[in-house]
Structure 1
Amino acid sequence: MVAAILNGTVIAESNNTVVVENNHYFPPESVDKSIFSESSTHTTCPWKGRASYFNATVDGQTVNDIAWYYPMAKPEASTISGYIAFYKSKVKIQV
């Protein structure tokens, strides 16, 4: 089981993450979406496509751009389309 933990709170947990470039991508249903809000940040990866970002609020503390996902990943990255990854500098990833 892999978990993403923010301020002692588990915000994502799954046995079915996909690892790409040393990042665990969590299935969307494994993430506590009640704490997330869409960020206005977007980036582009040459082989994965356009990424969108989430902010997260736990115990009154908001962390901006804590996670990213590829809503429509390019074909070579289709296994992570819609899956959510977290910045290890902002969230503890427990394996």
Structure 2
Amino acid sequence: MTTATWNGTVVAESDDIVTVEGNAYFPRESVREDVLRPSSTHTTCPWKGEASYFTLEVDGETNPDAAWYYPQPRDAAKEITGRVAFWRGVQVS
């Protein structure tokens, strides 16, 4: 089982992980919806497409843009469709 933890709280947990470029992508349904806040941030990867972000909020503390996903990944990255990855201090183990 792989978990993503931030601020002492497990924010995602799954045994169905896809790893791309060293990042663990969790199925969206394994991520706690109550800790996700929409973000207006978007970035573009040349081969994966446009990424959208979430800010994490746990116990009143926020971690801006700490989770990302590709709403419509390019064909080369179809395996991460419907998946979320983390960074910015989120521990994945």
Report the TM-score, using the length of structure 1 for normalisation. Answer: 0.95
CA RMSD of aligned residues (A): 0.7
Aligned to 1:75: 75
Instruction: Say whether residues 1:65 and 2:65 are aligned partners.
Output: yes
Tell me the alpha carbon deviations over residues 37-70 of structure 1, each in whole angstroms, 9 at most, x when there is no partner: 1111000000000000000110110110001000
Structure 1's unaligned 5+ residue stretches are: none
CA distance in 1, matches of 2:41, 2:26: 20
Partner residue in 2 for 1:23: 23
Amino acid at match of 2:12: A
Aligned residue-pair number:
93
Counterpart Cα distance in 2 of 1:66 and 1:10 = 14
Match of 2:9 in 1: 9
Describe how 1:42-53 pairs up with structure 2 within 5 A. 42-53=42-53
Identity %: 54
Once residues 57 and 91 of structure 1 are traced to their aligned partners in structure 2, the CA distance between those partners, rounded to angstroms, is 12
Mapped partners of 1:17, 1:33: distance in 2? 18
